[in-house]
């Protein structure tokens, strides 16, 4: 399911985005292996005197930020000036996220931020999105949403856990359907169709949310401003 470049590419992208963060701001802390490099770099800068607060988007990013000493706050108390987050696929400013099943809280924090910096490697870039779209559903809605996704032309698969029997359960206690729509010609319409389904908590299409893409390559980091 998850695509991935090299650790060096991910590190370069994460550190590039983290290095743009300035003193005195609140930073949304995304989830995943690429964002983890950004969070670690922010931790190093906090050690060196950078004054920021972070808003985590998952159990994983909260634990990492706590371990490395980034002060934390919440959306109840602050709005992020910037969020740094990964993606499973990116085309222009539109993303597919949720390979780690964290997309509901990620979308909340990323959309609340003034600017979203996306950290990826070249394996995530595409001209047209075609990665399966993770859809987080209330457990009782698993079947009805799967049927509705099929009516929309998708192929829904319940995400199985890798290290336990049974399905993945999100940080919010819900299930994830990975919905393959093939090439997604009109992400905005698909996003609103999925959002309208009863029992859908959130889906992984982030339409036109990205402000900058930091793509780590073998030749350095390519930054695209949107
Ligand atoms: O739910 C997880 C997130 O949306 C991640 O940001 C996304 O899956 C990318 O993760 P990674 O950088 O590990 O490929």
**Per-residue pLDDT tens digits for 71-105:** 999 999 999 999 999 999 999 999 999 999 999 99
* Contact criterion met (CB below 8 Å) for 44 and 18: no
Phi, psi of 115 (to 5 degrees): -140, 140
Return all residues near 152 (Cβ < 8 A) that are at least 6 apart: 181, 190, 193, 194
Choose the CATH number for 7-126+208-225 among 3.30.1360.70, 3.40.605.10, 3.40.50.1360, 3.40.1030.10.
Answer: 3.40.50.1360
- Give the number of the atom of ligand 1 that is nearest the alpha carbon of residue 119: 12
Q: Would you list the domain boundaries of the chain? A: 7-126+208-225, 133-202
Q: pLDDT tens across 101-156, in order? A: 999 999 999 999 999 999 999 999 999 999 999 999 999 999 999 999 999 999 99
Q: Is 51 annotated as a binding residue?
A: no
Query: Which residue among 106, 136, 202, 212 is the active-site one?
Result: 106
Question: Does any ligand 1 atom lie closer than 6 A to the CB of residue 33?
Answer: yes
What CA–CA distance (Å, rounded) separates 206 from 195? 12
Question: Does any ligand 1 atom lie closer than 6 A to the CB of residue 32?
Answer: yes
Specify the pTM. 0.96
Q: pLDDT tens across 126-135, in order? A: 999 999 999 9
Question: Does any ligand 1 atom lie closer than 6 A to the CB of residue 101?
Answer: yes
State the CATH architecture for 133-202.
2-Layer Sandwich (3.30)
Question: Does any ligand 1 atom lie closer than 6 A to the CB of residue 86?
Answer: yes
Chain position carrying tokens 């859908």: 200
Chain position carrying tokens 């989830």: 31
| Interval between CA 160 and ligand 1 midpoint (Å) | 17
- Give the number of the atom of ligand 1 that is nearest the alpha carbon of residue 10: 12
Q: Is 69 annotated as a binding residue?
A: no
* Contact criterion met (CB below 8 Å) for 198 and 170: no
ipTM for the complex? 0.99
Q: Is 97 annotated as a binding residue?
A: yes
């Amino acid at each position: 399911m998850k695509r991935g470049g090299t650790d060096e590419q991910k590190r370069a992208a994460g550190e590039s985005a983290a290095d743009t963060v300035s003193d005195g701001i609140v930073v949304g802390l995304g989830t995943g292996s690429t964002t983890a490099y950004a969070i670690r770099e922010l931790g190093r800068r906090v050690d060196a005197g950078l004054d920021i607060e972070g808003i985590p988007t998952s159990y994983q990013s909260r634990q990492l930020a706590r371990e490395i000493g980034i002060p934390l706050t919440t959306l109840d108390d602050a709005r992020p000036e910037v969020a740094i987050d990964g993606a499973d696929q990116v085309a222009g400013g539109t993303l597919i996220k949720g390979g780690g099943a964290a997309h509901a809280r990620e979308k909340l924090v990323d959309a609340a931020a003034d600017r979203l910096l996306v950290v990826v490697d070249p394996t995530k870039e595409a001209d047209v999105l075609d990665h399966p779209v993770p859809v987080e559903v209330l457990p009782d809605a698993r079947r009805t949403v799967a049927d509705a996704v099929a009516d929309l032309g998708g192929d829904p698969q319940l995400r199985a856990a890798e290290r336990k029997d049974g399905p993945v359960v999100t940080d919010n206690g819900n299930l994830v359907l990975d919905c393959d729509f093939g090439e997604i010609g009109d992400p905005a319409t698909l996003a609103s169709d999925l959002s309208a389904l009863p029992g859908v908590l959130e889906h992984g299409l982030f339409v036109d949310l990205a402000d900058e893409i930091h793509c780590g390559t073998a030749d350095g980091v390519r930054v695209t401003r949107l």
